[in-house]
Chain A
Amino acid sequence: MYKYIYIIPEAIGKSVLRMCASIGSIAIFFYDFVICLFTPPIYIKSLLIQLVRIGYNSLPVIGLTAFFTGGVLALQIYVGGSRFNAENIVASIVALGITRELGPVIAGLMLAGRVSASISAEIATMRVTEQIDALITLSTNPMKYLVVPRVLAAVISLPILVIIADIIGIMGGFVVGTKTLGFIEQSYIKNTLDIIELRDVLSGLVKAAVFGFIVAFMGCYHGYNSTGGAQGVGRSTTLAVVSASILILASNYILTSLVFTN
């Protein structure tokens, strides 16, 4: 009987310890990353390849999701707004919602699904097939060769992707607003341009850079520390996507409260 009393505290204790251990190991990984970021050599070619893979190749996915998000936002606000005769607010809320929140968050989450997963699977495979060990024996620092280019590429790409997502998302709202909800094109555009301030867009871009970092860093971290063969590759991929997504949403809250509540 007594031994059952210990089960719950023991489980809690274990998971707390495990969490502390992984926070510690992420911190060490981050420290190594920062050191490598500021010491030569920098692998320009890898950086360019990753810019194409992470940034350019994500364009279709992010464009499509932004378009539909803008469209559905317009629809919902129209339906909700008409309950108190505030339909005209559609253009403004689409513009603000997309640039401040939905553009960066949706793009970040899509990138987490697409890029965290592929980075983590690729690096984990390199780990289990000893390619990372081989890099070291060929005098190449895997942190510099694999991690730095991917993280830099994501931090550079995501803000650019978010600018594009903002434009396409607002366009999605515009298409729905003018084609199905009956807004007049000129006034919709005018309402949009009137409401947007530089600050709205910039705050979204700062978020995007942070999310880009989270996406690539989590992918690299979980891939790099993968153990246990093919199963381990699968596990680290899942962990990368889940942890990147949660961190994106959590840091989004923190960033929003820092930027918009003075």
Chain B
Amino acid sequence: MDHILKINELSKSFGDKSVLDNLSINIERNKSQVIIGGSGTGKSVLLKCILGLIEPDSGEIFFNQQILNKKKRADIDFHSKIGMLFQGAALFDSLNVQENITFGIKKLESNLGDLTEIAVDKLKKVGLNSSVLYFYPSELSGGMQKRVALARAIARNPELLFFDEPTTGLDPIMADVINNLINEVIEEVGATAITITHDMESAKKIADKISMLYKGAVIWTGDAMDINSSNNPYVDQFIKGSSDGPIKINPND
């Protein structure tokens, strides 16, 4: 099978708190992988390890069959091949919307007309119009910031996309626009997407594969349509959203 990303036994602790615990997962090329899991189970930390923002304690990450480390990321210009939507948007607040969206493109082509065109095009894809082009992030609502950040993540047409909770903070209609957008980039551009979400509606709509994280490890992976018949008590509890079950509410347990 063609895996764009392979993660082997990744571990990471902060102090004596173990966050990722021998986590392994393989991501198929040109598929949509959704990762679900309770708050604080290490989903965002996992993405940051892949991106090289956090150094894992042990384990290996392979991108296109090549091992990813600091040097390799620089050698193959890894970051130009990926797009990342941060959980908190992380827009540059000293730059306006247009500059934010085209930030990563600047070095490749400097024609200002083209940049504006790209920004408008990407804004349209996330359900915003060009009236916000020259707004600063502080002048946007939380949901609008999230969508601008999404536009920034897809602006360079990356082959691998990471979305950390793309639909949180959006109304149901906008959430659906974003779901369609994720499906569209996978189908049309041939990208691979790894999406973290708590939104089961969205997960079912965009996922080819779903994996569930619990206590820093993958406890279930399967096709999206099998999620309701997983026979896994953790998954069942999570999708039902019940406080009753093997997952303890008290995170210290």
Contacts and interface: CB of A to CB of B under 8 A. Distances in A.
Contact of A136 (B53, B88, B92): B53
A186 interface: no
Interface string A31-51: 000000000010000000000
Interface string A100-144: 000000000000000000000000001001110111111110000
Contact of A134 (B52, B80, B90, B107): B90
Contact of A131 (B53, B83, B92): B92
Interface in B64-111: 77, 79-80, 82-84, 86-88, 90-93, 103-104, 107
Contact of A138 (B52, B93, B103): B103
B104 A130 contact: no
A133 B86 contact: yes
B212 interface: no
Given A133-B53, A134-B84, A139 B90 contact: no
A126 B90 CA distance: 8
Contacts of A135: 92
A129 B83 CA distance: 18
- Majority DSSP secondary structure for residues of B touching A: loop
B51 interface: yes
A133 B83 CA distance: 12
A138 B79 contact: yes
Interface in B146-171: 152
Contact of B86 (A41, A126, A130): A130
Contacts of A140: 103-104
B80 to A, nearest CB: 5
Contacts of A129: 88, 90, 93
B215 interface: no
Given A137-B51, A138-B79, A41 B90 contact: no
Most central of A41, A126, A135, A137 by chain B CB within 10 Å: A137
A45 to B, nearest CB: 10
| B interface, size bucket | 20 to 34
A140 B92 CA distance: 13
A137 B92 contact: no
A133 B103 contact: no
B48 interface: yes
Interface in B89-137: 90-93, 103-104, 107
A140 B87 CA distance: 20
A138 B104 contact: yes
B156 to A, nearest CB: 8
Interface string A160-184: 0000000000000000000000000
Contacts of A137: 51, 53, 79, 82-84
Given A131-B93, A133-B48, A139 B79 contact: yes
Nearest to B87: A130
B89 to A, nearest CB: 8
Nearest to B94: A122
A41 B79 contact: no
A136 B52 contact: yes
A131 B90 CA distance: 5
A131 B80 CA distance: 17
A133 B104 contact: no
Nearest to A134: B90
Contacts of B51: 133, 136-137
B45 to A, nearest CB: 12
A124 B84 CA distance: 21
Nearest to B92: A131
B219 to A, nearest CB: 27
A210 to B, nearest CB: 28
A133 B77 contact: no
Q: Top 5 nearest A-B pairs by Cβ distance? A: A138-B104, A130-B90, A134-B90, A137-B84, A139-B79
27 contacts: A41-B107, A126-B92, A129-B90, A130-B86, A130-B88, A130-B90, A131-B92, A133-B48, A133-B51, A133-B53, A133-B86, A134-B84, A134-B91, A136-B51, A136-B53, A137-B51, A137-B53, A137-B79, A137-B83, A137-B84, A138-B79, A138-B104, A138-B152, A139-B77, A139-B79, A139-B104, A139-B107
Given A130-B90, A134-B91, 8 more contacts: A131-B91, A133-B48, A133-B86, A133-B90, A134-B84, A137-B51, A139-B80, A140-B104
